Amino acid sequence: MLIIYWRRLLKNRLALAGTFFITLLIMIAVLAPWLSPRDPLQQDLLSRLQSPSRVHFFGTDDLGRDVFSRVLYGTRVSLTVGILAVLISVLVGTSIGLLSGYLGGWWDGVLMRSVDVLLCFPVIFLILMAVAFLEPSINNVMIIIGLTSWMGLSRLVRGEVLSLKERDFIQAAKALGVPSRRILIVHLLPNAISPIVVSATLGVGGAILTEAALSFLGLGVQPPMPSWGNILTVGKDYMHIAWWLSIFPGLAILVTVLAFNLLGEGLRDVLDPRLET
């Protein structure tokens, strides 16, 4: 089965393009200390707001810091926040979806009505409300994004479990007295993994956008730690005289989110069981 999926992946141009760019971004994040020509925190007021040149590839900001170095280090922040926030979201959403679909009855009603209530609130409103009670930091941003973005996944997993639990192999496992925990982890979860993987991949792009928006508003990653969002915050004040402060981090966000969306859409096609025929 893995070989079949691998062959489909190699034939899917969207997935390959997304995989290529994501691999490149991960390498940039890992190698940032070696790729960066300067310390991203080093200030040089004599070189402030210089346009892109051979010395400063992406120019400098209002404090004379090298924007190219800050964008490279910002890749670390964005990928870390995006991936870890989605891991939290997947853990919570998958657990609630599995329990709701498998237990059914009263448990299903309570859990899904709770999800419905949370879905009534805009996600950004929930995030802003949570940030108001916590100190803005990279750890808090990851946790907040993860704990406010699991509701859609839980409903998706619940739907898969409702379909799977009526299958013969689940009924046979129950008849043999297999513990519910084993049925959930060994039988149901692996068979529902495809939509979880696709949803998680698409969710990374959304989490990166959310982190950038929070940092832009001053509620996310705090200076002097570089992130694409807080570089854009500086850029908005110098839009007419220092366009590079907005263009380069904006392009980095665009490419990263597009790469994860391409991979997610490609995986959706690759993992589609209807393609097995």
On whether residue 89 sits in a domain, the answer given is yes
- For residue 192, how many C-alpha atoms fall within 13 Å in the half-sphere facing its CB? 28
- For residue 33, how many C-alpha atoms fall within 13 Å in the half-sphere facing its CB? 1
The predicted structure's pLDDT at residue 118: 84
Average pLDDT rounded to a whole number, residues 256-263: 91
Average pLDDT rounded to a whole number, residues 91-109: 89
The predicted structure's pLDDT at residue 5: 65
On whether residue 46 sits in a domain, the answer given is no
Residue 60's DSSP bridge partners are: 66
The predicted structure's pLDDT at residue 58: 92
On whether residue 103 sits in a domain, the answer given is yes
Q: What pLDDT digit, counting tens, does each position of 168-219 carry?
A: 888 888 888 888 888 888 888 888 888 888 889 989 988 999 888 888 888 8
AA letter at 11? K
What's 180's DSSP letter? H
Q: What pLDDT digit, counting tens, does each position of 136-177 carry?
A: 778 888 888 888 888 889 999 998 888 888 888 888 888 888
Range of the domain at 116: 2-33+65-276
Count of domains observed in the chain: 1
The predicted structure's pLDDT at residue 89: 93
- For residue 182, how many C-alpha atoms fall within 13 Å in the half-sphere facing its CB? 7
Q: What is the pTM of this model?
A: 0.87
Most distant pair of Cα atoms in the chain: their distance: 77
CATH of the domain at 130: 1.10.3720.10
On whether residue 220 sits in a domain, the answer given is yes
Q: Are 230 and 215 in contact (CB under 8 A)?
A: yes
AA letter at 158? R
% of the chain exceeding 90 in pLDDT: 24
The predicted structure's pLDDT at residue 1: 54
On whether residue 215 sits in a domain, the answer given is yes
Backbone angles phi, psi at 48, to 5 degrees: -65, 140
Does the structure show a pLDDT above 60 at 277? no
On whether residue 179 sits in a domain, the answer given is yes
Residue located via tokens 């100190």: 135
The predicted structure's pLDDT at residue 122: 78
On whether residue 45 sits in a domain, the answer given is no
On whether residue 54 sits in a domain, the answer given is no
Residue located via tokens 């890749």: 75
SS3 (DSSP) at 60: strand
The predicted structure's pLDDT at residue 4: 65
Average pLDDT rounded to a whole number, residues 115-122: 84
Question: What is the distance between the alpha carbons of residues 60 and 62, in angstroms, rounded to a whole number?
Answer: 7
The predicted structure's pLDDT at residue 47: 87
